[in-house]
Amino acid sequence: MSERTAILVAGGNGNRLGGPVPKQFQTVKGRPLLMWTIEAFHRFDPAMPLIVVLPQAHFDIWKALCMGHRFFLPHQVTAGGEQRWHSVKAGLGEVEGDGLVAVHDGVRPLVSTGLIGRCFEAAHRSGAAIPTVPVVPSIREVTAEGSRALDRSRLLAVQTPQCFHADLLRKAFEQPYDPAFTDEATLVERLGVKVELVEGEDHNIKVTTPLDLRMAEALL
């Protein structure tokens, strides 16, 4: 398989968690979420380059945290931008060669090595692959008149790692910035490329609320 790189996006200020600490630095089982996420990728492949995208303003905090927690797993830190789009683009600028790239949420620490492997394999095969899980609740769409029910059986919730051929992802990020951007797969699709869907994992939660934090605590 081609060379692989992972971009771990931790650009957010994490206001939704309500704490004074950005969410990627919130402590779970004795250390920041982001360290668990880095470790998950290190476990998958200790030799794979890991590019961690952080706001410039958090560089010193992160350095201090790594010292304090004696966290020495190798990773490269890069400054992110205003929105996720800018942060992923910045991380992508650090990726070398034309192998495979995984983009993963820094606050999704419970990803398994199996899932990372399956996403890379699918992207190797088809250029673009993302993990998805069935949507559990009934979903409504807000309309001009109020709202309407959608057919849940046809909906999927998207997770990360989203994996791509590096060249394809670079081309996707050459498109102009769109404020409606939510994930990398959508950008790649605009190039006319079909995204392969990989079966995700219930446990692979994105930790964005205090409730999620408690769940991660229970699971890690």
- Provide the binding-site residues for a second copy, judged by CB under 8 A: 132, 135-142, 145-159, 180, 182-183, 185-186, 189, 194-195, 197, 202-203, 206, 208-209, 211, 214-215, 217-219
> Which lies closer to a second copy via its Cβ, residue 112 or residue 186?
186
Q: How far is CA 62 from CA 24, 36, 78, 111, in A?
A: 10, 14, 12, 22
Strand ranges, E, within 161-216: 162-165, 196-199
Give the span between the Cα atoms of 41 and 50, in whole angstroms: 8
What token pair was written down for 184?
Answer: 């990398």
Contacts of residue 142, Cβ cutoff 8 Å, sequence gap at least 6 = none
Instruction: In angstroms, give the least distance from the CB of 109 to a second copy.
Output: 14
Instruction: In angstroms, give the least distance from the CB of 46 to a second copy.
Output: 28
Instruction: In angstroms, give the least distance from the CB of 62 to a second copy.
Output: 25
Instruction: In angstroms, give the least distance from the CB of 175 to a second copy.
Output: 14
> Which lies closer to a second copy via its Cβ, residue 43 or residue 140?
140
> Which lies closer to a second copy via its Cβ, residue 48 or residue 195?
195
Contacts of residue 111, Cβ cutoff 8 Å, sequence gap at least 6 = 37, 40, 41, 104, 160, 161, 201, 204
Instruction: In angstroms, give the least distance from the CB of 57 to a second copy.
Output: 25
> Which lies closer to a second copy via its Cβ, residue 191 or residue 215?
215
Nearest to 25 by CA among 53, 67, 65, 55: 65
Q: Are 54 and 23 in contact, with CB atoms under 8 Å apart?
A: no
Backbone Cα Rg of the chain:
17
Q: Using the structure block, give the residue that is written with the tokens 């999927």.
A: 156
> Which lies closer to a second copy via its Cβ, residue 79 or residue 155?
155
Instruction: In angstroms, give the least distance from the CB of 59 to a second copy.
Output: 28
> Which lies closer to a second copy via its Cβ, residue 167 or residue 178?
178
